[in-house]
């Protein structure tokens, strides 16, 4: 979900951006929780309504059959009361009696066909099955037979509006659900974000990582401990990986304890001026090592591999190239935009267009 009206029309800042999945999951949970107490009662009422409708239709059929029998009896009496001498009258009454019998026979056949096609009365086991199915609302909601149109119809029947407010660049989102009837539900949900530095608990996370690293823990062990303590990554999916721990330690300038010491570089292959080991450049720019490898494949940056084992990558990046890479990251992440004069004095624009090179410059330099 994006609120980009001002940006699209005037070049102003983007208002809010939210991954749809996290909000959809929250709203679905709220709707199912609201419907759960009434699910059993609704299912039983539905079964009772089916039986009531069937009883009403059966009553109409009984009245029609009764009326047909009355017509047959009247025609028979009229025929038997006719004088034998009045043969023309007797023949007419006989025809009326035969027509009444034929109509009664046709109506009876229609009634039998209706009984065969109409659903039978619900048994106790069937009522129990309906109750069990109603109790499993999440299963019914996710069933292939339930379409998106069905889900939207249910949501619109119980929810009037949904208001969200993202807390800055963090992962926290204040959600207000306005229910039909005037009630409101206020909750805070978590959205996936791109930069782990924007996490609301990032200072505590970095402090905890530094504390464990100073105690001699390696990144793999630190990541496992963070997952045990309940920390979540920026994207919210999966556990915290050791690469994130390594990046935070590199930025803080904290020595990293390895489970096994890395092989020293041969003097002929050692990084020269304006050259970086691939993981150190990723930490300097605040991207993943996968991003650096992708840039190598695309030809955006140049590098070389060690000629000896373990053939690690060494990337060439002077200060000018670093600035270009940071500007590219800035553009890709949507932090640079043309500003309409209407928003020239907006304080959000100032922070929106700050140079990330100054903003995220680490205290320790890893290049030579």
Q: Look at phi and psi of residue 253 and say left if phi exceeds 0, alpha if psi is from -120 to 50, else beta.
A: left
Q: What is the pLDDT of residue 70?
A: 92
Q: Do residue 354 and residue 279 come from a single domain?
A: yes
Please tell me whether residues 135 and 149 are part of one structural domain. no
- Output the pLDDT for position 189: 85
pLDDT tens track for 39-83:
666 666 766 777 777 788 888 888 999 998 999 899 888 888 888
Residue 365 lies in a domain: no
The reply to whether 131 and 57 lie within a common domain is yes
Which token pair is 77? 């009496």
Q: What pLDDT, on a 0 to 100 scale, did the predictor assign at position 351?
A: 44
First to last CA, the chain: 44
Considering only CA atoms, which of 185, 193, 195, 202 is closest in space to residue 166? 193
Single pTM value for the model: 0.50
- What does the pLDDT average to over 244-266? 72
Residue 366: predicted pLDDT:
35
Asked which of 175, 190, 205 is the last residue of a domain, the reply is 190
How many other CB atoms are there within 10 angstroms of residue 206's CB atom?
18
pLDDT at 336 over 50: no
Give domain status of residue 27, yes or no. no
Domain assignment of residue 8, given as a range = 2-20+143-190
pLDDT tens digits, one per residue of 111-149: 888 887 766 666 677 667 766 766 677 777 788 888 888
Who wins on pLDDT, 324 or 365? 324
Residue 228 in this model has a pLDDT that exceeds 80:
yes
Within a domain: 73: yes
At 40 the pLDDT is: 61
pLDDT of residue 42: 64
Mean pLDDT on 271-282:
83
Q: Which pLDDT score is estimated for 340?
A: 47
51 and 132 both lie in a single domain: yes
- Per-residue pLDDT averaged across 21-33, rounded? 86
- Tell me, yes or no, whether 158 and 13 share the same domain: yes
Tell whether 125 and 247 lie within a shared domain.
no
Q: Within this chain, do residues 261 and 287 fall inside the same structural domain, yes or no?
A: yes
355 in the same domain as 227 = yes
Residues 167 and 184 in one domain: yes
**Band of residue 187 on the pLDDT scale cut at 50, 70, 90:** confident
Average pLDDT, the chain: 77
Cis peptide before 310 (omega within 30 of 0): yes
Return d(Cα 313, Cα 195) in angstroms, integer.
24
Is the same domain home to 283 and 293? yes
pLDDT band at 227 (very low <50, low <70, confident <90, very high): confident
How many structural domains are present in the chain? 3
pLDDT tens for 154-170 read 888 888 888 888 888 88
């Amino acid at each position: 979900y994006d609120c980009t009206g001002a940006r699209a029309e005037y070049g102003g800042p983007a208002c809010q951006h939210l991954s749809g999945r996290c909000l959809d999951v929250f709203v679905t949970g709220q709707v199912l929780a609201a419907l759960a107490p009434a699910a059993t009662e609704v299912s039983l009422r539905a079964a009772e309504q089916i039986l009531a409708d069937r009883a009403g239709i059966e009553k109409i059929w009984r009245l029609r059959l009764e009326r047909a029998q009355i017509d047959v009896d009247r025609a028979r009496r009229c025929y038997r009361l006719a004088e034998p001498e009045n043969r023309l009258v007797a023949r007419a009454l006989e025809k009326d009696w035969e027509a009444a019998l034929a109509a009664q026979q046709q109506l009876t056949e229609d009634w039998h066909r209706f009984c065969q096609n109409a659903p039978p009365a619900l048994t106790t086991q069937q009522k129990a099955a309906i109750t069990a199915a109603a109790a499993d609302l999440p299963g019914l909601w996710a069933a292939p037979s339930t379409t998106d149109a069905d889900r939207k119809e249910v949501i619109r029947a119980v929810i009037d509006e949904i208001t969200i407010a993202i807390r800055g660049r963090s992962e926290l989102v204040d959600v207000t659900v306005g229910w039909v009837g005037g009630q409101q539900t206020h909750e805070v949900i978590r959205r996936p974000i791109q930069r782990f530095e924007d996490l609301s608990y990032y200072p505590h996370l970095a402090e905890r990582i530094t504390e464990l690293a100073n105690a001699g823990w390696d990144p793999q062990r630190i990541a496992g401990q963070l997952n045990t303590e309940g920390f979540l990554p920026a994207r919210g999916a999966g556990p915290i990986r050791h690469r994130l721990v390594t990046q935070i330690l590199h930025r803080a300038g904290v020595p990293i304890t390895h489970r096994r010491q890395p092989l020293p570089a041969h003097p002929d292959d050692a990084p020269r001026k304006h050259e970086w080991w691939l993981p150190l450049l990723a930490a300097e720019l605040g991207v993943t090592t996968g991003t650096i490898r992708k840039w190598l494949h695309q030809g955006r940056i140049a590098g070389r591999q060690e000629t000896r084992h373990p053939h690690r990558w060494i990337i060439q990046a002077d200060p000018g190239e670093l600035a270009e890479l940071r500007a590219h990251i800035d553009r890709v992440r949507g932090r640079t935009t043309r500003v309409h004069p209407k928003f020239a004095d907006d304080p959000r624009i100032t922070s929106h267009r700050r140079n990330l090179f100054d903003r995220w410059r680490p205290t320790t330099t890893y290049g030579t």
